Amino acid sequence: MNIKQFTAPTSRDALRKVKELLGPDAVILSNRAVDGGVEILALAGADIASLAPFGRQTLAPLPIAPERDAASPVPPVVRRQRPERPERHQAGSLAGALKAHPAVPAPAPAATARAGNDVALMMSEIRTMRGVLENQMAELAWETTARREPAKSAVLRELLAAGFSAGLARKIIEKMPVGGTIASGREWVHGVLERNLTTAGPEDQMLDAGGVYALVGPTGVGKTTTVAKMAARYVMRHGPGRLALITTDGYRIGGHEQLRIYGKILGVMVHAVKDDGELAIALEELKGKHMVLIDTAGVGQRDQMVAEQLAMLTAAGGDLKRLLCLSATSTGETLSEVVRAYRGTGLAGCILTKVDEAATLGATLDTVVRHKLPLYYIASGQRVPEDLHIANRGYLVSRALRQQRDHESFLLQDDELPLVMVPRTNGDTRPGAGR
């Protein structure tokens, strides 16, 4: 694609330059006033076919109208003569006139449908061409920025390699200060991510405050083990007498027994409930406890039972807080879908599990930042309670930026970065063009 820029004192002079260089079939992309004259961006008519395929039909380029010489006469405007209005002598004469001049027949429905389809096709092609032109211009703008600011290109590649979404990476890079080095860019990005990552605060504050916490999330994210870890940390600080455990997991074989074993080791009673009525009764009986931890059944985010489970926890009343367990091994799209499904009337925060198994942490932190979820704990193994840690923002961001993909198939090359930096427009369905 060979987009040319023309500047001249007047539009007429600029159009003459376009015609002389690109020919009469050139396509005008933009026309704007600049200091000292007019700026025009134009594309040769032969290059318009290279922008995007339009199927069997292609829009013809809009030719530049021939210039009119100042001395050439202007053709006269032909005005249609209005027919004289017939005098209204009698009603019968009007009826006779109508009979003498029958109405023009309406077009056939088939012809009307074909005309409508042609117009719809033409409008679709125009929208597609507009989207392609906008994307091409945006890509050119990013390529210019990348050449002028190579640090941005390098830091962008690192963010994408760490698993951050194209949308979040693009927003961060667009606000990155100009003129810096790669090292200063990394430091700036680290600070931005750390400031936007919210944690729940010191563990002492949570354990001393107590309350009722229900851990929710899909199957296999480690809710039961995480409940056991939190219970063990509480017992180590306040003893077993002020803690109670509840399980609503009646679907898995041995679901109750796993938590009962942990409770027996810790010396804490475990209560099993089946519905919202039993849960409300259990919470009423456990009012004297300082902290109550609830282990719920794992339900996939697309299962109808998610709504039923949220309704049961909501009906229990009280100050019950829901903590969503997110597996760090899941993709960003999956994690976002889980958050939307389990958000309900509101989440108190989240816990990251399986951090030790995750190849990258970018997608997980990306989800937490975009959905503004306070982060309570991170779980990095099966040991109870050693593998449960207070969320540390600096550590998580440093690890996410440091832990990048090593597989070449997942890394973007220099010529692929513009595809990520171009926001999605109407008709643009390319991978990475928005997200």
- Strand-pairing partners, residue 4, are 42
In a shared domain, residues 231 and 171: no
Domain membership of residue 98 (yes or no) is no
Domain membership of residue 247 (yes or no) is yes
In a shared domain, residues 316 and 372: yes
Starting at the edge strand found earlier in the chain, the sheet holding 270-272 runs 270-272, 243-247, 291-295, 211-216, 320-327, 349-353, 375-379, 388-390
In a shared domain, residues 313 and 230: yes
- Report the number of distinct structural domains present in the chain: 3
Q: Cα separation of 199 and 237, whole Å?
A: 21
pLDDT in tens, 355-407: 999 988 999 999 999 999 999 999 998 888 899 999 999 999 999 988 765 54
pLDDT in tens, 116-151: 777 777 777 777 776 666 666 655 555 665 567 778
Tokens 């010489």 belong to 69
> Who contacts 57 (Cβ-Cβ below 8 Å, separation ≥6)?
121, 125
Ramachandran area for residue 120 (φ above 0: left; ψ -120 to 50: alpha; else beta): alpha
In a shared domain, residues 165 and 210: no
In a shared domain, residues 208 and 266: yes
Range of the domain at 307: 203-391
- Strand-pairing partners, residue 387, are none
pLDDT in tens, 213-229: 999 999 889 999 999 99
pLDDT in tens, 233-270: 999 999 999 999 999 876 665 667 888 899 999 999 99
388-390 and 375-379: which strand pairing?
antiparallel
CA distances from 316 to 39, 121, 299 (A): 67, 56, 19
In a shared domain, residues 208 and 340: yes
In a shared domain, residues 239 and 357: yes
37-43 and 27-34: which strand pairing?
antiparallel
Domain membership of residue 172 (yes or no) is yes
In a shared domain, residues 325 and 434: no
In a shared domain, residues 163 and 261: no
CATH number at residue 246: 3.40.50.300
In a shared domain, residues 246 and 357: yes
